[in-house]
Structures are given as structure tokens and as C-alpha cells.
Structure 1
Amino acid sequence: MSVRGTIVMVASASVTADPRIIKEAEALVADGWEVVVLAWDRARRDPERIERDGWRIERVGPEAAHGGGPRNVAKYWRFWAEAAARCVALAPDVIHCHDLDTAIVAVRARRRLPRLRVVLDFHELYRESRALPQGGLPGVIARAAARLVERTAIPKADVVVTVTSAHVAYYERLGARRVVLVENAPDLDRYTVVDRREDDFVVSFIGQKRWITGLVKLMQAIQPHPHLKALLAGGGTAAEEIARIASTMERIEVLGRVEPDEIPGLYHRCDAVYACYDASLGNWRTTIPVKALEGMACGLPVIVTRGTWIGDFVEQHELGFAIDPLDVAEVEEVLLRLSSDRELAREMGRRGRAIIEGGLNWAAAARRLTDAYRGLAGEAGPGPDVVD
């Protein structure tokens, strides 16, 4: 296969812990592109250069802490400068920036490379997420800065990628020329149907631990019932505090950072998936939690937050329950309902798996990504940009 062109991806975190970036890079390599990922591995866990199958990861940026707030401003400037300079040196055909905090790299690089095509890949609504302070004067300043970056970068992008149809109109209002939906959907070959028939009932949370309150309420709901258990796996800014609290309770298993290849196997130890987040943040009201989709792919019922896009979706298709995660009694009630009626739980899981098999999977999402890139290369016939 002839090479279609070269892509430089930019990420503000370690790529080895981000399955979405890895899947996108692999899909594009399989479609004939050369890919280099510039990653700001702030904790310096990974080597400076990692060779993957047909692509590579290069580390840029200074050592820094996640969640450093204003203390990281100077380090962000250094990361943007280093990433832009390396991109210019590589002289790619396309720069593909993951999340809003890398968009400045594209703006800087294009000044030096006017013919550079720009793809902005938004994993979340950054200005309404925990990535930025939301309250007080720091929140006002941070959100204003994020909006400035949006208004500067989005109209200049050739393609904007989003993970949910709920965000399409938002980016169109900001001047996006073309919006392509690439859900963070599971790979059907990796996530297989769970058939666990044990007496205990295990509910899992597998992902970054950031919202302490929600996970504490889940742990509290489990305590009065000896047959209920929880598996809380993953790193995150709240990982240490969650582990400390869990150590004071019973039947709570806590695992730290897990590699992407370990995640599918963990679901086979579970009977339901807890995918609740803080709905006071606009980002979580409209996004699709990855763990909810993974749970559906594994044929498991999912528990999500009421009053959100995913909450409405789960209730409409009867895939599980939408709850108030701050109400311990309601969390407890749902867990008891699922654990006492295993056939109900299995039927909810079957409906979820059918939706994944019907098109809400990575193969379908990856085709939309590669079609968009073929359009950038001047090839005719790209598929639909957005699907419901």
C-alpha cells in the first residue's frame, strides 16, 4: 500500500494509557498513513521514544503534575513550544490534536507550515470539565481562556472530531467547517459477553478515579448487604483517597492504574457497571462514558447518572438504570434490584450488546475517521460525517 501522507498527533498526556489515541493511530496506519504521536508524558513513566507497529510515540514537554492548575501554566507554554517545533521539523501533511489543550500547537505549527491540514479531536467539552477550575475567579479566567482558544482554533480546522452527537451543534456554532463523529466505542473482538453466575454480585467502576463523592456513595450502598461487592480499578487524581476510604469498608476491591489490555478481562469479574459522574459539569451531562459502552459490549447492565444524555439513552433502550448517584438509598435500591433479578440484568445486558453489534462499535467509528482523512487527501467518496 502506498503511503497517503504523514500525520503528527499531539497529546497532553501519556499515550500508552489512552486507548482512544492508540486505536486511532492504528486505524490510520492500517489505512496507509504514517503516524508520529508527540506525547506530554508529564510523570515521565514512558521512554523518550516508543516504537509501535507501524508508528511511534515521542515524548515532548517538561516534567509536570496532572491537576497542577495555575502552577502548570508556564509548563504548558513549554509543551506547546516544543511540540510545535517538533511538528515543524517533521513537516507532516496533517496535525491531529487531541483535546483543546493541544490546539495551540496546531495554530503555531500552521504559521510555519501554511499547507498543514488540521484535525482537532475533542474527547470532551474541555471548558466544562474537571480539566479546568470551574468556580471563583480562577474558573472565570480559565473558562474564558478556553473559549478564546476554541474561537481561534476551531474555525481554522479542516476537520473537528467529536465523541458524541450531542456535541456536534456546539462545534458548529463555533465555526467548525466539518464535524465527524468518532465515538470512543469498544472493539467487538476485545470485549466479549460476560456469563458470570456466582452467588455474590459485583459492580465495577473501571476508569480514572476523579469524583470521590460518587464512588464513596457507591461503597456506602454496598456495606449493609453481604452479597454485594465492588471492584474499583484505575488511576486518577482521586485514586489514593479512594483507596484510603475503601480500606475502612468491607468487600471493596481497589486496583490502581490498569493497562488498556487488562480492562476487558476485568469486566468478566463483574455483574454490572457503574458509570456515574458529576452531572453538575456540563461535560458529563452530554458525553458518553467509555465504561458504559464497554459494559454494553460485555453484555452487562449499566448504572448511569439521571439527567444526562447517557441517562436518557439507557432508560430509552432499557439497558440498566439512571439514578441520582448522590442518593445512597437509590444506589442501594438499584443494586438490590439487579442482584435479586439476574434474568432482568442479563436481558438489559443483551440489549446493550445488540446496540454495540448494530453499529456503536470501533470498526464503524474508525471507518468515519479514515473516510475523513481520505477526504483530506483529496480522495472522493467519504462516508457520512455524523450518525445518530
Structure 2
Amino acid sequence: MPERVIYVVRSWPRLSQTFIVNEVLALERRGLELVVCSLVRSGEVIVQPQVADVRAEVRYLDDLEHGARSVRRQLASCVRAPVRSLRALLECLRHPRLAAGYGECSALECLRHATSLAAVVREIRAHGDEPVRVHAHFAHDPALVGMLAARLTGVPFSFTAHARDLFEIPPESLAARAREATAVVTCCAVNAAYIESVVPPGDRPPVRVIHHGVDLRRFAPSGHPAPGPVPLLVSVGRLVEKKGFPDLLRALRLVKERGLRFQVRVLGDGPLLGELVRLRDELGLTGDVELPGAEDSDAVVRALRDATAFALTPRVLADGDRDGIPNVLVEAMACGLPVVTTTAGGITELVAHDVNGLLAEPGDVPGIADSLARVLTDAGSRTRLGAAARQTVERGYDTDEAASCLERVLRAGAPVPEAAR
């Protein structure tokens, strides 16, 4: 009988969370049967094309929580497991800060979602199957829902922590989730070090570093011809503060003042779009920088294949929000592109300065400008850095190898090999 894993996510599908879709597909190729339980619908119009290949059933918990059937479901959970249900309720009433910090649900709302998730577990069991695990993506609401569902059902629980969800919840809330997990997974060593620094050893299960992988066949060098008279720089990301796009625009202005020509495409959407358009125009970059909005991964692949180089300049915000290792950097490097980026978050685990990319300190606009000018003008550096970038991704960021490591956690909590740490 196939081993079934219940995946808990905040919303599905999310354009900016391609790494979760890729992970689901890779795990399915390895024979795992998944059920994706999403707290809410994403509401996004653009959907990644890979979503159509996902075999997993998708349950939207928010859809299960309306009307008379919802009331019956909640009552059934209490009747079937009265002690577990009472303990979970008391935990949420006594410790409302379980849901403090970054997140959209209160502790009691997370318990409501967990009760709906418990009903999904009961349905699976009614068909003669037994879920081997509840695994949540993101340490905020989804992990709390997963933790409470594990209490209600007795199914083992683990979660993956990423970025804002990790750094913007109280350490005691993170410790509460970790205490009941069989493993905590994260995408970079910086995140793992943070978890180990704030979660007491007695509350901490194994912390596993498993990099997000990319499809090395899809994201591959295209034999880039020599750039024409106007090189193309590409950047991809949500238009939010931590991505540092104002720094990139200001650096591009400095590069233009040196007399260098370029075209830039920034693919992505977000709350800063209007502000970035205004800044672009104020800096005199209207004809040089295109901000076309959100695109799916097929469009990202096409843009990377046409690009001369890739740039992304993240920051660490005052509230702690930061990237781990941005997946778009891995995708660009897989395509053999030289990358210009910063040392924010876990990026230095992926990029070594002047080895497989160029690094500047976050917010160092002149330093970013120097790196951009170099990839625009030095063909030898572009070739050397791009080749090394591809080799880096081949060695440590293949999606199937990452899925193999995660599979061991999901199936039986088996230790991940040291090579994957």
C-alpha cells in the first residue's frame, strides 16, 4: 500500500512558491502519495504550468468550514477523540501567542483548520489507508495547524521553515512547534543555525538542511550567443521590500552614468510595483528597465535563456525578514548565467564571490553597480562565472536529489545523509 503524506500549505497554488510544486512532483515521482491541504485558495490568476502535472488530491480547508457539515465535522472530531480535542482547545486558550507574529490566523482559527484536517485523516483511514505523516510548509500558520492536527489524530508531524515565517514568529512559538515535530527541515544553514540558537535542545528534533532543487533539464544553458550591442539583464522576484529592487534600480542608474548600455526585465508583481515604476522613471531608466508584472515559470525560462546575466539584490529588513536562498538565483545559475547578488540571508551558501557569481553587501549600491558593470563588459568573466554557476547547481541543487533526502524524513524520520546537510 502506498505511503501517504498530508502536505499543509497556506494557499495553493502560489506563483511565488514554485519550489513547493516542484517538490510535490519530485516526491510523487519517487512513489509517495500526497494529499495537499491548503488553508485557503490562493486567488491568483496566473498558475504555474507544472501544477497541471500534480497527481495529489487538493483539499481546501476553508471550503470545509462553512455550513451544517462543518458543525457536524467539528462535533465528530470531539466525539471521536474527546481527550485529544479538549487538550488541543486548552492549549490554544492558554497560549494564544502560539499564533503571534507573522501569520493570518489566531490560535483558535488554526485549531478550526486542524479539526478540518483531522476529518481528512479520518476519511483516508476509512478507505483503509494510514497517513504516515503531516508535513507543513512554513513555520507560521501551516505548522501550527499541522501540529494541532497531529495532536488530534496521532499522525507524526514535521515542517519546513523558510524565511519570514521563521524569523517573524516568537522563538517560544517556534519551540512549541519544534517540540512536537519529528523533524524540522529548512533550506539553508543560516536558517538551521537560527533554529538551533533559539529552540532549546530539549525542544529540538533533528534540524535538516535540504536545499530547494531545480529541474536541471528544464533550467539549462542554452548556448547563449555573444550579446548584441545592448546586453539583457534579467531579475525575477516578488516586488516586496526584502528583494531590494530599489537598490538594483539605483545601481543601474550609476552604470548608465558610466556610459554603458543595457536592457533590464524585472519579472514579478507585488505591492511595490507602483513605487518601482516611479523610481525607475525618476532615475531616467524608463527606456532601459521593463516591469511587465508576474509571469509563469515558462516565461521565466524564456527570459533566462535570452539573458546575458541575472541580478537580484536582497536585503535583511529591520524586523528580521529576509530570504533564505532565493530559488530564482538557483534557476539562473542552472541556466549558466553569471549572477550579481548580495550576501543577505543564506545566499553565500550558494554564491561565492568571483567564483560562481559576484557579491556585494546588501544596500551597497556602488558595489552592486561595479558588479553589474563587470558582467556587462567582461565576456571572459561572464563565461567563467556562468560555467561555475551551472556546476554548483549540478552538485547540490538537483530537485530529484533534494526529494530523495526529504523522502527519508517523510517516510520514517530516517536521518538525512551528511552530504545533504
Could you give the per-residue CA deviations for residues 89-116 of structure 1, whole angstroms, max 9, x where no partner exists? 11143111111112110222122112x1
Partner of 1:208: 238
Write the distance in 1 (CA, Å) between the matches of 2:399 and 2:316.
Answer: 26
Q: Which residues in structure 2 correspond to 1:219-368 (within 5 Å)?
A: 219-224=252-257, 225=259, 227-247=261-281, 249-280=286-317, 282=320, 284=322, 287-306=324-343, 309-311=346-348, 314-315=351-352, 318-368=355-405
Structure 1's 367 and 74: CA in aligned 2 closer, same or farther, altered over 3 A? Answer: closer
1:161 Cα deviation (Å)? 0.9
1:232 Cα deviation (Å)? 0.5
Pair 1:188-2:187 in alignment: no
Question: Does the CA-based 8 Å contact 2:166-2:174 persist in structure 1?
Answer: no
1:80 Cα deviation (Å)? 2.2
Partner of 2:135: 96
Question: Does the CA-based 8 Å contact 2:115-2:152 persist in structure 1?
Answer: no
Pair 1:122-2:156 in alignment: no
* SS of structure 2 residue aligned to 1:35: strand
Q: Which moved more, 1:288-297 or 1:32-41?
A: 32-41
Write the distance in 2 (CA, Å) between the matches of 1:244 and 1:81.
Answer: 43
TM-score (norm 1): 0.81
1:3 Cα deviation (Å)? 0.8
* SS of structure 1 residue aligned to 2:136: strand
Partner of 2:74: none
Q: Which ranges in structure 2 are unaligned for 5 or more consecutive residues?
A: 64-99, 122-130
1:171 is aligned, of 177, 195, 207, to 195
Question: Does the CA-based 8 Å contact 2:159-2:183 persist in structure 1?
Answer: yes
Write the distance in 1 (CA, Å) between the matches of 2:416 and 2:367.
Answer: 43
Question: Does the CA-based 8 Å contact 1:222-1:228 persist in structure 2?
Answer: no
Write the distance in 2 (CA, Å) between the matches of 1:171 and 1:76.
Answer: 23
What is the identity, as a one-letter code, of the residue corresponding to 1:322?
A: L
Could you give the per-residue CA deviations for residues 224-259 of structure 1, whole angstroms, max 9, x where no partner exists? 345222110012332333234335523101121222
Structure 1's 75 and 178: CA in aligned 2 closer, same or farther, altered over 3 A? Answer: closer
Larger of the two Rg values belongs to structure: 2
What is the identity, as a one-letter code, of the residue corresponding to 1:241?
A: E
Partner of 1:85: 115
Pair 1:150-2:169 in alignment: no
Structure 1's 297 and 374: CA in aligned 2 closer, same or farther, altered over 3 A? Answer: same
Write the distance in 2 (CA, Å) between the matches of 1:169 and 1:74.
Answer: 26
Structure 1's 247 and 314: CA in aligned 2 closer, same or farther, altered over 3 A? Answer: same
Structure 1's 213 and 123: CA in aligned 2 closer, same or farther, altered over 3 A? Answer: same
What is the identity, as a one-letter code, of the residue corresponding to 2:153?
A: L
Structure 1's 43 and 358: CA in aligned 2 closer, same or farther, altered over 3 A? Answer: closer
Question: Does the CA-based 8 Å contact 2:251-2:366 persist in structure 1?
Answer: no
* SS of structure 2 residue aligned to 1:250: coil
Partner of 1:67: none
Partner of 2:13: 15
What is the identity, as a one-letter code, of the residue corresponding to 1:290?
A: N
Write the distance in 1 (CA, Å) between the matches of 2:306 and 2:40.
Answer: 31
1:179 Cα deviation (Å)? 2.3
Runs of 4+ aligned residues of structure 1 deviating over 6 Å after TM superposition are 70-74
Instruction: Please tell me the root mean square deviation across aligned C-alpha atoms, in Å.
Output: 3.0
Partner of 1:140: none
Structure 1's 298 and 242: CA in aligned 2 closer, same or farther, altered over 3 A? Answer: same
1:12 Cα deviation (Å)? 1.6
Structure 1's 73 and 19: CA in aligned 2 closer, same or farther, altered over 3 A? Answer: closer
Question: Does the CA-based 8 Å contact 1:14-1:46 persist in structure 2?
Answer: no
* SS of structure 2 residue aligned to 1:318: coil
1:335 Cα deviation (Å)? 1.7
1:204 Cα deviation (Å)? 1.7
Q: Quote the sequence identity (%).
A: 20
Structure 1's 56 and 236: CA in aligned 2 closer, same or farther, altered over 3 A? Answer: farther
Partner of 1:59: 60
Higher relative contact order (CA 8 A, sep 6+): 2
* SS of structure 2 residue aligned to 1:10: strand
Structure 1's 126 and 386: CA in aligned 2 closer, same or farther, altered over 3 A? Answer: farther
Write the distance in 2 (CA, Å) between the matches of 1:97 and 1:170.
Answer: 19
Q: Which ranges in structure 1 are unaligned for 5 or more consecutive residues?
A: 63-69, 133-142
* SS of structure 2 residue aligned to 1:44: coil
* SS of structure 2 residue aligned to 1:277: coil
